[in-house]
Structure 1
Amino acid sequence: MAVLTPTDLTEKLKGLDGWTHAGDAIRKEFVFQDFPEAVLFVSALVPGAEDSDHHPDIEIHYKRVVLSYSTHSEGGVTEKDIDGAARADAVAASLPHLEEFGDG
C-alpha cells in the first residue's frame, strides 16, 4: 500500500475530526471522563485493529489517550492509517461520556 501524497493526506485529514499529521504518522488525543473510560476505549479498539491487522501506537495518560497511526513498512501514512483513525473515532463516539479538549 502506497504512502499518501501530501495533497492526498491533507484531503483525507479534512474528513477526520481532530487528527493531525505529525512526522510520518497521524495522531489524535482523546480525553475521557476518567481512567476506566480511557482504558475501556483502548480495549474497544482491539477487535478492529486485529481484524485489519493494523495497530495504533497508544499512550495512556490517566484519562487521556493519544493514538498514532503509521504504516511502518511503508514509511508513512497510508489508507490503512486513515481507516484506523476513522474506526477509532467511531469507537470513541460509541462511548457514553466522551469529552474532547485541547487539540483533539
Structure 2
Amino acid sequence: MVHLSDEQIREGLERLTDWEWDSEAVLVQRTVRLPDFLSAIALVDEIAQAAEQVDHHPDIDIRYNKVRLALSTHSEGAVTDKDMALAARIDELVDATTRQD
C-alpha cells in the first residue's frame, strides 16, 4: 500500500469528479446529491458492494438525498493508492446511477 504525498493526492484528484482533499482530517471526500432518499440508498448499496470486493470501506453519511463519502486508510493514518482507486470506482458508480435518473 502506497502512502500518497499531498502533491500525489492533488494530482489524483484532478482525475476524479468533485473529490476534495482535507489535509487536516487526512482524507478525501465527495458529496453526491441524488433525486430522492431511495436513490441515495441504492447508490450506497452499489458502493458497499464495490467496497466489499476490494476490502476497503469508505465512511458514508446519508442525509435524505445527499451522500457524503470520505476515504482514508485509517490503519495507515494516510490517504493511499487504495483510497484513490476506490474513489475512481465510486465515480463510475455515481455516473451510472445519475445517468439512469
TM-score tier (shorter): over 0.9
CA RMSD of aligned residues (A): 0.8
Return the offset for 1:2: 2.9
Contiguous gaps of at least 5 residues in structure 2: none
The 5 A counterparts of 1:49-64 are 49-64=51-66
Contiguous gaps of at least 5 residues in structure 1: 98-104
Question: In structure 2, what is the equivalent of residue 2 of structure 1?
Answer: 2
TM-score normalised by the chain length of structure 1: 0.90
Structure 2 distance, partners of 1:37, 1:47, is 16
The 5 A counterparts of 1:1-104 are 1-22=1-22, 23-95=25-97, 96-97=100-101
Query: Kindly, what percent of the aligned residue pairs are identical?
Result: 37
Structure 1 distance, partners of 2:52, 2:17, is 23
SS in 2 for 1:92: helix
Return the offset for 1:74: 0.8
Return the offset for 1:36: 0.3
Structure 1 distance, partners of 2:78, 2:21, is 10
TM-score normalised by the chain length of structure 2: 0.92
4+ residue runs over 2 A deviation: none
SS in 2 for 1:68: strand
- Indicate conservation of the 8 Å contact 1:54/1:80, yes or no: yes
Structure 2 distance, partners of 1:88, 1:12, is 14
Aligned residues between the structures:
97
SS in 2 for 1:89: helix
1:17-68 deviation line (CA, Å, top 9, x unaligned): 1000112100000000000000000001122101100000000000000000
